[in-house]
Amino acid sequence: MSHNALKIKSAKPDRTSDIDLTMTDLITGTPSGNQIIEYQSGSWVSSSVGVTPELGYGYHYQWSGGSGGSYAYSTGDRYIWRGNGNINTLSTGFSTVTSTATYTPITNSNWYMGFNIPAGKWLIFWQFNVYMSSSTSYSTWRFATAPSSGSGTYTYHSAQSYVTGTQSRFGGLVRCVVDLSTASFGCLVNQNRSGSIRISPSGNAHYVNAINVVAL
């Protein structure tokens, strides 16, 4: 019969007009576990996008054991956070970078000023805090990438996070999507400030600092 001349890719109807299809008859390429398929240029193709988001970098600071001192931020400084007493997970291509006097208020191997990020599309969540010297003090921060940790040429990806308050611990939240064609360095950069914006009160390091970088 004429309808038996129909076929889907290489699959043809049998004598009862049934077509036995396999994955390769429907999709160009073969998806692996936890990946999706997507429609491109008239056909369904396997995609490198995973169903389950991959945690590229995860960090949470446990406030005990600080002893950071009271170093004041300046405009243009990178936010720094304590590098010990934490939950710290890094996937391949991620690595933290120790603070330096060139870009931060302190040079100390116990403090970080950012992290290296491999090429890819990433969702950034960064909850951070600073210590205000008075009720009129404030600071604003944005997430930025640079070609390397030694470069001060930034590409900004987030809106400004505005932090203000009295003599206590106040924080901000930065959320953004970063699409990188090449490996880069990521950090928070102080955009503006008024008053003394200190790293830590009375020797206790940043009370709340949590970073999550998730692959998209």
Q: List pLDDT tens digits, range 168-178.
A: 566 789 999 99
Report residue 107 as tokens. Answer: 């040079």
Confidence of residue 11 (pLDDT cuts 50, 70, 90): low
Segment 105-120 shows an average pLDDT of: 89
Domain interval for residue 40: 2-50
Does 15 lie in the same domain as 95? no
Does 83 lie in the same domain as 17? no
Confidence of residue 65 (pLDDT cuts 50, 70, 90): very low
Segment 167-193 shows an average pLDDT of: 89
Residue 35 pLDDT greater than 80, yes or no = no
Does 171 lie in the same domain as 191? yes
Does 59 lie in the same domain as 26? no
Does 46 lie in the same domain as 66? no
Question: CB of 96 within 8 A of CB of 90?
Answer: yes
Matching residue, tokens 């003090």: 137
In this structure, what DSSP letter does residue 78 have? B
Q: How far apart are CA 46 and CA 83, in angstroms?
A: 40
Confidence of residue 110 (pLDDT cuts 50, 70, 90): confident
Question: Which pLDDT score, from 0 to 100, does residue 95 have?
Answer: 93
CATH number of 93's domain: 2.60.120.40
Question: CB of 59 within 8 A of CB of 84?
Answer: no
Number of domains the chain is built from = 2
Does 128 lie in the same domain as 74? yes
Does 137 lie in the same domain as 42? no
Whole-model pTM? 0.74
In this structure, what DSSP letter does residue 93 have? T
Does 211 lie in the same domain as 130? yes
Q: What is the mean pLDDT of the chain?
A: 79
Does 60 lie in the same domain as 32? no
Report residue 167 as tokens. Answer: 């003599």
Confidence of residue 196 (pLDDT cuts 50, 70, 90): confident
- Tell me the per-residue pLDDT of 46-56, one tens digit each, with 9 for 90 and over: 666 655 567 88
- More confident call, 31 vs 179: 179
Write down which residue in 16, 32, 50 finishes a domain: 50
Does 93 lie in the same domain as 117? yes
Question: Which pLDDT score, from 0 to 100, does residue 115 have?
Answer: 96
Q: How far apart are CA 204 and CA 63, in angstroms?
A: 7
How far from the centroid of its chain's Cα atoms is residue 148's Cα? Answer: 16
Does 78 lie in the same domain as 7? no
Q: How far apart are CA 114 and CA 95, in angstroms?
A: 9
Does 124 lie in the same domain as 25? no
Question: Which pLDDT score, from 0 to 100, does residue 179 have?
Answer: 96
